[in-house]
Amino acid sequence: MDLPSVTAPDAEARRAAVARHDELAVPAGGLGVLAELGCWLAACQGTCPPRPPMRPRVVVVAADHGIAEAGVSAYPPGVTARQVAAAREQSLPASVLAPVSGASVRVVDVAVDDGDARVPDVATTAGRYRVRRSSGRIDRTDALTEEETAAALTIGRTLADEEVDAGADLLIPASLGVGATTPASVLVAALAGIEPVAVVGRGSGIGDDAWMRKAVAIRDGLRRVRPHVRDPLALLRIAGGADLAVLTGFLAQAALRRTPVLIDGLVVGAAALVAEELAPGARDWWLVAQRSPEPAMALALDQLQLTPLLDLNVRLGDGTGALAVVPLLQMSARLLAETATAADSGIAPSRAAG
């Protein structure tokens, strides 16, 4: 897939934000990470001071995975459809938290294994975002066909375009799907060049027996995909899935549209690794919300050279952790715009202080 070059965030706006922070009536470095967030927002928006994100949008991509049949999850296949229903009823954790941050949530069914559980968004568009019904079992067969992989990437790019065109000023990609952390872990292991045991996490809260089954599934999936590690599309086709491919397209297109993104959860983290391969420089538009307890997520972030903002120990992939960060971004923008300067307030350190 040929994508345009990613434009870097505005370095001049970042420099202006750093200079403005130096002028504020606060001790040097007194605002810590809040200052860094304001500078990141200024660079992404290309203006100083930045505007607080007023239209954050969570886009939850829902899909089932054939590998769930191998008993790698604490939940049986079919639960994804009920999770989608919970999102529709606004009882999903991300749906509960979204109003606190002024965010809205959209759930898109791209490969849920239950045609009756689609959210209205999908049903009313005649399945235009639907890739297939579940993905292939990656320890034995490919997750997608070449055509499905291309279609999923296009859907992801289209979703990003739709949200930006509708006015979203901060995007939060998220996922729902039983078994999804298994293919995500395979992708991370392949791109990081590490052994499968290093990426096996507890996912949905699995016990030791399921952990062993997951380790075997990741080993077998990794064995199938390793010869194709330099081909991002082949990685998604062989060992990914519809949701991972959609999220990859979404993340790449968000960067191409110069829109800041909050990263949260292993599935999104794995897609981010692939998106950076497809669109180098996209990672400059991403902020990692919080540290996931999944070992594969830490490895993915090491590869991307991104540092989590918080350590909430949230394992959910529905955007819950990212939503906790949105108010911090809003605060950082207001601090940069509204805090008095030393010159205006007369509050400045003593010249003898140093």
CB atoms within 10 A of CB 26: 17
Q: Tell me whether residue 81 is exposed, middle or buried, using C-beta atoms within 10 angstroms of its C-beta: 0 to 12, 13 to 18, 19 or more.
A: buried
Q: Does 1 score more than 90 pLDDT?
A: no
Q: Does 139 score more than 50 pLDDT?
A: yes
Q: What is the pLDDT of residues 78-137, one digit of tens each?
A: 899 999 998 888 899 999 999 998 999 999 999 999 755 444 443 333 368 999 999 999
Q: How far is CA 175 from CA 4, 87, 242, 271, 317, in A?
A: 26, 11, 11, 11, 5
- pLDDT for 352 equals 53
Q: Does 68 score more than 80 pLDDT?
A: yes
- pLDDT for 43 equals 98
Q: Does 179 score more than 90 pLDDT?
A: yes
Do residues 316 and 266 touch, judged by C-beta distance below 8 A? no
pTM for the complete prediction? 0.93
Q: What is the pLDDT of residues 288-344, one digit of tens each?
A: 999 999 999 999 999 999 999 999 999 999 999 999 999 999 999 999 999 998 887
| Percentage of the chain modeled with pLDDT above 90 | 82
Domain boundaries, the chain: 11-51+335-345, 56-327
- pLDDT for 350 equals 59
Please give the Cα distance from 152 to 109 (Å, whole number): 12
Q: Which CATH architecture has domain 11-51+335-345?
A: Orthogonal Bundle (1.10)
Please give the Cα distance from 232 to 44 (Å, whole number): 26
- pLDDT for 89 equals 87
CATH number of this structure's domain 56-327: 3.40.50.10210
